[in-house]
């Protein structure tokens, strides 16, 4: 066969790259994965992602495309739309956003004009960059007002939200977070938005799986639009989703395409459709419930070990921990823990005196470990591993002994081995 037309498997075609991918497989198999925005997708989701759908262009929407050959792409996108609508009880779904940030930008493009005022939870208080933080396009092209959390209990202060909304009369109010361990009061936000004539938009990127599984309130009835990524607690492929009321459907669709994006990533759309079907099952509802049970059990064990939890605990999948009393910064601890096979991220805490790149806290999420089948009784060992790593890091100025790191890595791998990760 002509050399240029040979079509060898990846291991043969690009062994260097293949080795890196196999290395990542092993890393994910053997690490205690605690990054709150990550998960393990199912084999079915992985399979749908790696298909010939990646070869196809499909600008437009089902039935209204700019390309031919939509025999299968249209029904796939329609399936994803129908499943997303049913899962969250939404009038309309757009399944094309490439991820959460483009989804949020599309909502702004669809519902606001550049220069309009928006309100969102400030990044240092647990909000997301795209909710109007100053370095984000959402804070550059829109006038952004940021609300925070109370100093004493680290909860969103609805009195502050109301008074800022009355003062600034925003066109759009974001409710959502990247690092807030408590339930969001969607009806209270909706009441404030209605009073000032703002669109309420929930970004449920972190808790979408909990919403789908019925263990977190659903914002859809209260909001003009709801955005989410599909890959965190929802356990789908890397991607985004916008749900909205029927009256905003045309504006949102126009904002996604042609406003912001070109052709949708059809292989990802297919994988989203698989994930939405999985998330509608009783097994997924049990999974979502277990995530919260595990997070609360881990919170108790860490509190017993003297850790300071922001807001004192958690209602969802994540814990935010202030390491100040442990004598180590979040970044240094996270780097040292990673060397011990424990993967999490340094994170700013509310009113953090340290800089965002070297903050006081760490953030922990339980979605990945729960996907492996860990339950509450495993959380004592998870807490012990985290604690040993943090104490070793603090005692060594962030440079724990290589032999200790190797021992901890082996212990983590041995602990996890009986609970294989989906997709691997
Ligand atoms: N902010 C990222 C996170 O929560 O990890 C996702 O955008």
Q: Whose CA is nearest to atom 6 of ligand 1?
A: 37
Which one of 3.50.50.60, 3.90.1150.10, 3.90.330.10, 2.60.15.10 gives the CATH number of domain 283-416? 3.90.1150.10
Concerning whether 232 is annotated as a catalytic residue, the answer is yes
Report the share of the chain in percent with pLDDT over 70: 99
For residues 203 and 131, the answer to whether their CB atoms sit within 8 Å is: yes
**Which one from 30, 74, 203, 315 is the annotated catalytic residue?**
203
Highest CATH level, class, for 47-279: alpha beta
CA-based radius of gyration for the chain: 22
Mean pLDDT, rounded, for 250-278: 98
For residue 129, give the ligand 1 atom closest to its CA: 1
If you measure from the C-alpha of residue 85 to the centroid of ligand 1, how many angstroms do you get, rounded to a whole number?
24
How confident is residue 375, by pLDDT bands cut at 50, 70 and 90? very high
How confident is residue 394, by pLDDT bands cut at 50, 70 and 90? very high
| pLDDT single digits (tens) 252-262 | 999 999 999 99
pLDDT at residue 378 in the model: 98
Residues 334 and 340: their CA atoms lie apart, in Å, by: 10
Residues 231 and 109: their CA atoms lie apart, in Å, by: 23
Mean pLDDT, rounded, for 329-342: 98
If you measure from the C-alpha of residue 292 to the centroid of ligand 1, how many angstroms do you get, rounded to a whole number?
19
Q: Find out whether the beta carbon of 178 lies less than 6 Å from any atom of ligand 1.
A: yes
Concerning whether 203 is annotated as a catalytic residue, the answer is yes
Contacts of 233 (CB under 8 A, 6+ apart): 39, 206, 207, 208, 209, 210, 288, 291, 317, 365, 367
| pLDDT single digits (tens) 188-227 | 999 999 999 999 999 999 999 999 999 999 999 999 999 9
**pLDDT reading at 80 higher than 90:** yes
**pLDDT reading at 4 higher than 80:** no
Mean pLDDT, rounded, for 49-77: 98
Q: For the sheet containing 318-322, what is the strand order?
A: 308-309, 318-322, 361-365, 345-347
**pLDDT reading at 241 higher than 60:** yes
pLDDT at residue 107 in the model: 98
Residues 74 and 271: their CA atoms lie apart, in Å, by: 14
For residue 100, give the ligand 1 atom closest to its CA: 7
Concerning whether 229 is annotated as a catalytic residue, the answer is yes
pLDDT at residue 5 in the model: 84
**Which one from 29, 47, 51, 59 is the annotated catalytic residue?**
59
Mean pLDDT, rounded, for 32-37: 98
Q: What 3-state class would DSSP assign to 57?
A: coil
Query: Any idea where the domains of the chain sit in the sequence?
Result: 47-279, 283-416
User: pTM of this prediction?
Assistant: 0.97
pLDDT at residue 2 in the model: 67
Q: Find out whether the beta carbon of 128 lies less than 6 Å from any atom of ligand 1.
A: yes
Residues 288 and 212: their CA atoms lie apart, in Å, by: 8
How confident is residue 1, by pLDDT bands cut at 50, 70 and 90? low
pLDDT at residue 325 in the model: 98
**pLDDT reading at 388 higher than 70:** yes
Q: What is the mean pLDDT of the chain?
A: 97
Q: Comparing C-alpha atoms, which of 98, 261, 101 is closest to residue 178?
A: 101
Q: Find out whether the beta carbon of 232 lies less than 6 Å from any atom of ligand 1.
A: no
Question: Tell me, what DSSP letter sits at residue 70?
Answer: -
If you measure from the C-alpha of residue 26 to the centroid of ligand 1, how many angstroms do you get, rounded to a whole number?
23
**Which one from 117, 118, 227, 229 is the annotated catalytic residue?**
229
Mean pLDDT, rounded, for 14-26: 98
Concerning whether 47 is annotated as a catalytic residue, the answer is no
Mean pLDDT, rounded, for 391-401: 94
| pLDDT single digits (tens) 117-173 | 999 999 999 999 999 999 999 999 999 999 999 999 999 999 999 999 999 999 999
Report the share of the chain in percent with pLDDT over 90: 99
Pocket test for ligand 1, best of 128, 227, 240 (most atoms within 8 A of CB): 128
Q: Find out whether the beta carbon of 37 lies less than 6 Å from any atom of ligand 1.
A: yes
Pocket test for ligand 1, best of 205, 330, 343 (most atoms within 8 A of CB): 205
DSSP string, 117-150: EEEEE-GGGT--GGGT-TTSHHHHSSEEEEE-B-
Tokens of 81: 């739309």
């Amino acid at each position: 066969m002509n050399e240029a037309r040979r079509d060898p498997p990846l291991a043969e075609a690009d062994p260097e790259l293949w080795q890196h991918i196999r290395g990542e497989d092993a890393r994910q198999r053997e690490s205690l994965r605690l990054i709150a925005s990550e998960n393990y997708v199912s084999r079915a989701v992985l399979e749908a992602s790696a298909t010939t759908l990646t070869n196809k262009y499909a600008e437009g929407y089902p039935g209204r495309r700019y390309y031919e050959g939509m025999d299968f792409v249209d029904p796939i996108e329609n399936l994803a739309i129908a499943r997303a609508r049913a899962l969250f009880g939404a009038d309309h779904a757009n399944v094309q956003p490439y991820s959460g940030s483009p989804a949020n930008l599309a909502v702004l493009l669809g519902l606001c004009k550049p220069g309009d005022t928006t309100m969102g939870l400030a990044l240092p208080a647990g909000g997301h960059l795209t909710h109007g933080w100053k370095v984000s396009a959402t804070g550059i092209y829109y006038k952004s007002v940021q609300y925070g959390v109370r100093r004493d209990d680290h909860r969103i202060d609805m009195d502050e939200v109301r008074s800022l909304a009355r003062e600034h009369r925003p066109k759009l109010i974001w409710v959502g977070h990247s690092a807030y361990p408590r339930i969001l009061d969607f009806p209270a936000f909706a009441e404030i938005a209605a009073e000032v004539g703002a669109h309420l938009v929930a970004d449920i990127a972190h808790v979408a799986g909990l919403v789908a599984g019925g263990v977190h309130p659903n914002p859809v009835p209260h909001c003009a639009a709801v955005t989410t990524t599909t890959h965190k607690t929802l356990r789908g492929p890397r991607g985004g989703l916008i749900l909205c009321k029927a009256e905003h459907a045309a504006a949102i669709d126009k904002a996604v395409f042609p406003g912001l994006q070109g052709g949708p990533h059809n292989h990802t759309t297919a994988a989203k459709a698989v994930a939405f079907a999985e998330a509608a099952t009783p097994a997924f509802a049990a999974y979502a419930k277990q995530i919260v049970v595990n997070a609360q059990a881990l919170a108790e064990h860490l509190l017993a070990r003297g850790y300071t939890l922001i807001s004192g605990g958690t209602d969802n999948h994540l814990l935010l921990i202030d390491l100040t009393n442990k004598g180590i910064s979040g970044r240094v601890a996270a780097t040292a823990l990673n060397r011990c096979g424990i993967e999490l991220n340094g994170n700013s805490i509310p009113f953090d005196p340290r800089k965002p790149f070297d903050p006081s806290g760490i953030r922990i999420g339980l979605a990945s470990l729960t996907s492996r089948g860990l339950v509450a009784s495993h959380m004592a060992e998870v807490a012990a591993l985290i604690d040993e790593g943090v104490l070793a890091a603090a005692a060594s100025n962030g440079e724990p002994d290589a032999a200790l790191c190797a021992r901890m890595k082996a212990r983590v791998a041995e602990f996890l081995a009986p609970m294989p990760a989906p997709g691997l």
